[in-house]
Amino acid sequence: MKPFNIEDIKRLRAEIEQLEGTIVIVPHINPDGDAIGSVLGLASILKNAGKQVTVISPNHFPEFLKWMKGSDELLVYVNAREKAAKILNEASMLICLDFNHLSRIGELKELIENWSGKKVMIDHHPYPQGFADLEFSHPDYSSTAELVFHVTKAMGYEQYIDLDGAECLFCGIMTDTGSFDYNVSDPQTFNTVSELLAFGVNPEDIHGRVFDNYSVDRMRLMGYCLSECMEVFPEYHAAVMYLSKETKAKFHYQKGDNEGFVNMPLSIKGIHFSAFFTENDDQIKASFRSKGEFAVNEFATAHFGGGGHRNAAGGEVFDTLEATVERFRKLLPEYAEELKRTKQD
């Protein structure tokens, strides 16, 4: 993995050591396990180093992450706009984690764009916008959580990592690699996990807290989507699933219930490109996953106003669900050659 610029590490450490005010840490909108694991893991480390830290999330985060230490103190911007804006205005430093473009933080964009203090970004997505004063941009890392572990270690802050912080960082790596299924080809990732376990992290316990925590409704919704709302295109090695507002209502949908659905078609033999569309009140959320070379971030950018990683990307659409799915079907022939070429099995 790309080594850190040691001067940047020294600068970050020097700036953190000398500052007296609050450090605000922000994840991306609709934060996932890596985003929340990274912000709460870093918050724990910096608090143990004697710093004042506030985490502000652009919006709500999933229930299955609420066991993390510090999650009860996390400010949700859309629930506490004034309080969050005041804290941000008075803060001494801003650290942005798990995003590299200001379009990824919803309503917080304007506040942060116009914020004049020192901005730091630590992230593993490709194509950084370059909005921060100090950037640790490493797309070769499995997760931002792994990156946070190594940045803080390089700063000499390993002494401030405790079991609570290590659990958050472990959760970030576990969720962003699909429980060590993808983005784990670099041996360093397993070394990182090994180091985190040495803090006392119990991997089975954490896995259970995150993945064995679903409602009966969610399980039945998954079954329904798999049987009624999935189309498979073997000739294109692709599949699409979709979730309408009507289906959501039928299964008493709670935010996050569709987590992981997009990955499921990839376990069908011969399928290595999967799309999932969720109909929300104000937009259609698109999620894409692939195995192997097919770059879903390029696909998401070209057609669905989004981006992400090569094998995991997303975007959003302002159209009907039917029209969106139809557009996806019609795009597949354009990619026939590429999808055939990138076939793995």
Q: Which pair of tokens denotes residue 142?
A: 């499995």
**Residues listed for the chain:** 345
Q: Which does 258 bind (CB under 5 to 8 A by kind): ligand 5GP, Mn ion, none?
A: none
Question: Which is closer to ligand 5GP, CB of 105 or CB of 312?
Answer: 312
Question: Which is closer to ligand 5GP, CB of 186 or CB of 316?
Answer: 316
Q: Is the dihedral of CA 104, 109, 112, 114 positive or negative?
A: positive
Which residue among 167, 176, 195, 259 contacts Mn ion (CB under 5 A)? 176
**Least gap, CB of 143 to Mn ion (angstroms):** 5
Closest alpha carbon to 167 in 6, 305, 33, 27:
33
Closest residue to Mn ion in the complex (CB): 34
Question: Which is closer to ligand 5GP, CB of 142 or CB of 287?
Answer: 287
Residue 98 binding Mn ion, by CB under 5 A: yes
Give the interface with ligand 5GP as residue ranges (CB under 6 A): 32, 125, 262, 287, 306-309, 312-316
Q: Are 147 and 95 in contact (CB under 8 A)?
A: no
Say which residue the tokens 């993945």 belong to. Answer: 211
**Least gap, CB of 38 to Mn ion (angstroms):** 7
**Least gap, CB of 293 to Mn ion (angstroms):** 20
Q: Are 94 and 88 in contact (CB under 8 A)?
A: yes
**Least gap, CB of 285 to ligand 5GP (angstroms):** 7
What is the chain's percent helix, strand, coil content, to nearest 5? 45, 15, 35
H or E segment to which residue 277 belongs? strand 273-279
Residue 147 has what DSSP assignment?
Answer: H
Q: Is the dihedral of CA 81, 87, 92, 98 positive or negative?
A: negative
Question: Which is closer to ligand 5GP, CB of 152 or CB of 274?
Answer: 274
User: What mask of x and - would describe binding to Mn ion in positions 39 to 78, judged by CB under 5 A?
Assistant: ----------------------------------------
From CA 237, how far away is CA 199, in angstroms rounded?
42
**Least gap, CB of 6 to ligand 5GP (angstroms):** 28
Task: Give the range of 40-48, 89-97, 136-144, 242-250 binding Mn ion by CB under 5 A.
Answer: 136-144
Query: Which amino acid is it at 342?
Result: T
Q: Which residues bind Mn ion (CB under 5 A)?
A: 34, 98, 144, 176
